[in-house]
């Protein structure tokens, strides 16, 4: 195995991958590398025209990604109270030893193609690649870090790999079928060779994994060059480890054998190992620390910090007026200066705020989603999670002992238990979330063959108005509880009210469903108990005539889809509800097929959703 000679050199290093790409994570994990993932926040806005060649752009982007993570991890030294509030283990805020950055691009005729912004952009990219050879470049930066006198020193090694790919001639039908699958939307060049995109490829010349997202072979050679000194003739062969164990403490860039911080192999005298160093490290007789379990235990603290900052309107204060000092913010939110400073420091460590010598300012994400007047504000969702949801989980043990329902959703309670304010609070949260996702659900597939649709549990009608905006022939019925329909007029959608949107009151559990060509289920997939959900799905399937369809959509962020084991985030924290785990596109496909839908499409949408459409075969 090519990586083996350098394993010992990285054994006591803290290695960080500055990318959230599940493909890069898988490639490096399969190679036996143990590392942490800290996604870079570097905004990829470099001017492509300023680079002499496409590969230079990829290398520079990779380098900036890695340097941003290295600097952020070095600077994130919040006070102890901040660490406890955020639920972050101390090692997560220490500077790393090695940071790996990567950026993959597709280039054809000197033109750089990155990820498509929408379906039309994906169509343009794939049409350009049809029947031609193109190059896939991955730039990689290996940043070696050490701290001297409190300052971060970095040394960067960088390289790139080029692979030639030839596409077959692609028909219009094949192009749109692939685009409608949703796969092109988060891939450089608009395709993923390791999945459905492989059917577009005629041949590959070079490193296949480079096209997937990371040039493993070249990376291993580079590590060998940096870390592995040639063995003298007759010298005993060193025993290497199969993987790099996780280590909690790092003092400098010294390798396992006591070599210097120079990655090219400059040696220095080895310092004696101390008992403390032995205790901090890992041995073969000790199991690895349960990092995932510890993270789960403390993760509620970070959530509470975010929800409290929303409740105190910290992000509203900083949205247009930052940077402000902690004292300025404290005056605005009527809080103590010391407590506010701790809160702001933790928000900065969580990536919600930026901090400079002038004070604190809101990040683009916080201004957009956490300020109450943001364009896609989730402020009402935060208020709902901080209120009834937090309360429901606080008394979870008592509810379980007494056999009581522990869902906070007022709409799932008995009618006499619902209050108007509780219903409104739930609707505000659902309304904000729907505004964020409606466009992605409405455009995930071509719904133009349908002339009528019924959104079951459609709440305030955000998705319904988006659908009639996208499809000129479509009439949409919003079917929800009478108290919801009564209050729906209190909410405004981004689109103008349409005569093609109708609100019909009724109970999904007991009342007849309105007739439609297309039935839509979104949040109920997560919120309803399994038995009730399957009963409802069976009822819908029984109403669908030939040519009719069922559209399913649920929240399932990409990074959670990749998680496994005890570190997987509990499914109830993903949405408004506390129901079952989100299903994969493959599981959605199987579910719809079992319900009798022959033509089934499944895709990811917006990096946040799983969407599936099943259609009854025409007679």
Sheet bearing 452-456, strands edge to edge: 501-505, 475-480, 452-456, 518-521, 549-555, 609-615, 599-605
Q: Which among 256, 605, 244, 258 is positioned nearest to 439, based on CA atoms? A: 605
- Retrieve residue 245's tokens: 């164990």
Place of tokens 């143990």: 34
CA angle 329/335/338 to nearest 5° reads 80
d(C-alpha 99, C-alpha 338), whole Å:
34
Does an H or E element contain 134, and which? strand 133-148
Q: Which residues 6+ apart lie within 8 Å of 359 measured at CB?
A: 322, 323, 324, 325, 326, 328
Neighbours of 481 (CB within 10 A): 21
Q: What residues are paired with 605 via a beta bridge? A: 609
Question: Is 103 among the catalytic positions?
Answer: yes
CA angle 313/421/459 to nearest 5° reads 90
* Chain CA centroid to CA 528, Å: 24
Of the candidates 71, 92, 97, 103, the residue annotated as catalytic is 103
Q: Which residues 6+ apart lie within 8 Å of 337 measured at CB?
A: 326, 327, 330
d(C-alpha 182, C-alpha 119), whole Å:
9
Residue 523 is given by DSSP the state: T
Asked whether the beta carbons of 2 and 224 are under 8 A apart, the reply is yes
> What CA–CA distances, in Å, run from 529 to 455, 462, 476, 557?
19, 24, 26, 21
Q: Which among 532, 547, 533 is positioned nearest to 591, based on CA atoms? A: 533
* Chain CA centroid to CA 8, Å: 32
Residue 324 is given by DSSP the state: B
d(C-alpha 105, C-alpha 126), whole Å:
14
Phi, psi of 592 (to 5 degrees): -65, -35
β-strand pairing of 98-108 with 518-521: unpaired
* Dihedral of alpha carbons 416, 419, 422, 426, sign: positive
> What CA–CA distances, in Å, run from 97 to 41, 100, 349, 447?
19, 10, 19, 51
* Chain CA centroid to CA 546, Å: 37
Half-sphere exposure of 421 (CA within 13 A, CB side): 3
Asked whether the beta carbons of 5 and 228 are under 8 A apart, the reply is yes
Asked whether the beta carbons of 518 and 471 are under 8 A apart, the reply is no
- Retrieve residue 89's tokens: 């283990």
Burial class (CB in 10 A: 0-12, 13-18, 19+), 524: buried
Catalogue the active-site residues.
103
């Amino acid at each position: 195995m090519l990586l083996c000679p350098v394993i010992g050199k990285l054994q006591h290093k803290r290695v960080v991958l500055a990318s959230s790409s599940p493909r890069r994570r898988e490639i490096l994990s399969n190679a036996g590398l143990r590392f942490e993932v800290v996604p870079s926040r570097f905004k990829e806005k470099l001017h492509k025209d300023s680079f002499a060649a496409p590969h230079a752009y990829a290398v520079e982007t990779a380098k900036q990604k890695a340097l941003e993570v290295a600097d952020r991890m070095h600077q994130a030294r919040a006070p102890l109270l901040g660490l406890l509030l955020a639920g972050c283990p101390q090692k997560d805020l220490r500077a790393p030893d090695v940071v790996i950055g990567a950026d993959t691009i597709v280039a054809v005729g000197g033109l750089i193609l990155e990820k498509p912004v929408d379906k039309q952009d994906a169509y343009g990219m794939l049409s350009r690649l049809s029947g031609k050879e193109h190059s896939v470049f991955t730039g990689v930066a290996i940043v070696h870090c050490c701290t001297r006198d409190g300052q971060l020193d970095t040394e960067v090694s960088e390289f790139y790999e080029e692979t030639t790919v030839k596409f077959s001639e692609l028909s219009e039908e094949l192009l749109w079928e692939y685009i409608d699958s949703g796969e092109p939307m988060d891939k450089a060049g608009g395709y993923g060779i390791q999945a459905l995109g492989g059917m577009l490829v005629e041949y590959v010349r070079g490193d296949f994994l480079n096209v997937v997202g990371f040039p493993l072979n070249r990376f291993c050679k580079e590590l060998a060059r940096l870390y592995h000194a040639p063995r003298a003739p007759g010298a005993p062969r060193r025993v290497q480890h199969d993987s790099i164990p996780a280590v909690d403490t790092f003092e400098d860039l010294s390798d396992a054998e006591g070599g210097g911080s120079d990655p090219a192999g400059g040696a220095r005298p080895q310092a004696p190992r101390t008992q403390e160093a032995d205790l901090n490290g890992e041995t073969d007789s000790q199991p690895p620390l349960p990092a995932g379990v510890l993270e789960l235990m403390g993760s509620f603290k970070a959530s509470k910090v975010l929800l409290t900052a929303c409740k105190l309107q910290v992000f509203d204060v900083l949205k247009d007026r930052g940077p402000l000092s902690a004292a300025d913010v404290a005056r605005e939110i009527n809080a103590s200066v010391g407590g506010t400073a701790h809160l702001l420091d933790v928000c900065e460590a969580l990536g919600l705020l930026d901090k400079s010598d002038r004070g604190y300012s809101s990040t683009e994400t916080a201004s957009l989603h956490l300020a109450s007047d943001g364009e896609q504000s989730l402020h009402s969702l935060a208020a709902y999670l901080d209120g009834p949801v937090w309360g429901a989980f606080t008394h979870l043990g008592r509810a379980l002992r007494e056999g009581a329902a522990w869902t906070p959703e007022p709409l799932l309670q008995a009618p006499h238990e619902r209050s108007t304010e509780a219903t409104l609070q739930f609707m505000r949260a659902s309304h904000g979330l729907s505004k964020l996702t409606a466009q992605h659900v409405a455009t995930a597939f071509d719904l133009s063959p349908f002339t009528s649709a019924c959104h079951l549990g459609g709440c305030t009608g955000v998705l319904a108005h988006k659908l009639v905006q996208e499809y000129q022939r479509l009439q949409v019925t919003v079917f929800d509880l009478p108290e919801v329909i009564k209050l729906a007029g209190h909410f405004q959608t981004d689109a103008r009210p349409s005569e093609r949107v109708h609100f019909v009151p009724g109970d999904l559990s007991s009342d007849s469903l309105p007739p439609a060509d297309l039935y839509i289920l979104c949040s109920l997939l997560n919120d309803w108990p399994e038995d009730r959900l399957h009963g409802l799905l069976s009822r819908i399937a029984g109403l669908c005539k030939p040519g009719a369809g069922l559209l399913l959509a649920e929240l399932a962020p990409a990074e959670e889809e990749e998680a496994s084991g005890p570190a997987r985030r509990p499914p109830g924290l993903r949405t408004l509800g506390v129901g079952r785990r989100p299903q994969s596109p493959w599981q959605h496909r199987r579910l719809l097929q079992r319900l009798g839908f022959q033509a089934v499409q499944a895709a990811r949408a917006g990096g946040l959703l799983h969407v599936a459409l099943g259609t009854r075969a025409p007679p």
